[in-house]
Structure 1
């Protein structure tokens, strides 16, 4: 019987709110068994970049990562945000270890090809070093991944944190029974964006298609849902979307995705 693994991805609004972050980390620290946390930090990178006079460039809601912006991402994701999270988790009794895709050769990627848009130093994931991560988890460490990958040739990339969480879950699904949690500021996928209590508690492939056609799932939720179903189609046991309260054992008011 496989051991269980929980992979929790936290969004920028959670990272940017100290009380929300503290609450989530307290819940994360109480999760049973093996666990991994994945975080971004785009809002903080924008804030620090502005202070340094480095303009944030976006297209269709996606970040363009030039050389200067990549340096900011490395500093903020791999340094400022990562180490603050690791320190808080250590205080909560979780033996956390801050990681990028380059650490332990964990996540290999390639530079996104230039098509309609040149995203710069943005990486698309090629592979996850599941054996190396398995050893870390079995040794009692809790990896804390930031949104950075590498190409194995010395180049770091800015990589979408939702994608990293999905690819980690897929890569480790052979060794573990894996549940992927996407934690953000909403209680789950909402039928009515104006109604915080209109959580759709279960979405399977058929319902997903209908919700797309109805326009219920749109805009920023589209890439997140794509990552969710990509994970499910590649042996991940279960995917959940909601706010930090979904990590509480007594809570059932969030969205669970299944095939």
Structure 2
């Protein structure tokens, strides 16, 4: 089956590296056919928050999004970062449009319930309520949607939402209409057998290999959520998921992939 939609998530570490980002956007723009970009936030929100006297708080690497912080991430992710990416893509001949999950009510979410930790205004995607009609209309007219990692609760509240989760949720919802390859781009070449060796890429992971890697404790904490999202997508209709380096994004839309293919 031909892949006819690429959903590509680019990580915050790429957003924070101007040279890597420039190279990535040139290659992303060159991908033929239908594509969607979802971007992380990087450290820009932290830097701007510091300038405004709003301290960033984290628990286990996850940002606590209080009332002041949701204002900062909305401005930075939905405004500054998103519109800069869109403008740069236009300069490379890619007709992009910047969106959040609130736009056209595409990605409704619910505020994460308070358990041991109150994450504040953090959203969990309402996967079964995604509205793909507006996205399909944009894709069918040759426009490339670019999503900031923001959703909404339907009652006027913007929510900070994990970009990996947004990417897999969109891939699942759109797999009803397209054959989808979901690609996670970051600063590594793929899932590594040895985190100290950038070339120790595991080229293929299926469920059996995944269980074996877990048992051998080869997978690092950073890659586990990506793999969980990947298998969640595969189990719900997404054709293929690929994890690889941002520089390989163009080749990773072809049959000759350079990262880790999950199937």
**TM-score, structure 1 as length reference:** 0.96
Verify the 8 A CA contact 1:2 1:176 in the aligned structure 2.
no
C-alpha deviation, 1:66, in angstroms: 0.2
Equivalent position of 1:242 in the other structure: 244
Q: Which moved more, 1:21-30 or 1:241-250?
A: 241-250
| Counterpart Cα distance in 1 of 2:257 and 2:141 | 32
Equivalent position of 2:20 in the other structure: 20
Verify the 8 A CA contact 2:111 2:123 in the aligned structure 1.
yes
Match of 1:195 among 187, 194, 197: 197
Equivalent position of 1:215 in the other structure: 217
> SS of the counterpart of 1:143?
strand
Following superposition, which runs of at least 4 residues in structure 1 exceed 6 angstroms of deviation? none
**Is 1:70 aligned to residue 75 of structure 2?**
no
| Counterpart Cα distance in 2 of 1:229 and 1:46 | 31
**TM-score, structure 2 as length reference:** 0.95
> SS of the counterpart of 1:36?
strand
**Is 1:257 aligned to residue 262 of structure 2?**
yes
**Structure 2 residues not aligned, in runs of 5+:** none
> SS of the counterpart of 1:140?
coil
Distance 1:208 1:93, change over 3 A: same
**Structure 1 residues not aligned, in runs of 5+:** none
Equivalent position of 1:98 in the other structure: 98
C-alpha deviation, 1:32, in angstroms: 1.5
> SS of the counterpart of 2:4?
strand
Distance 1:129 1:2, change over 3 A: farther
| Counterpart Cα distance in 2 of 1:74 and 1:120 | 14
> SS of the counterpart of 2:108?
strand
Q: Which moved more, 1:212-221 or 1:94-103?
A: 212-221
Equivalent position of 1:45 in the other structure: 45
Q: Aligned residues, how many?
A: 258
Cα RMSD between the aligned structures? 1.4
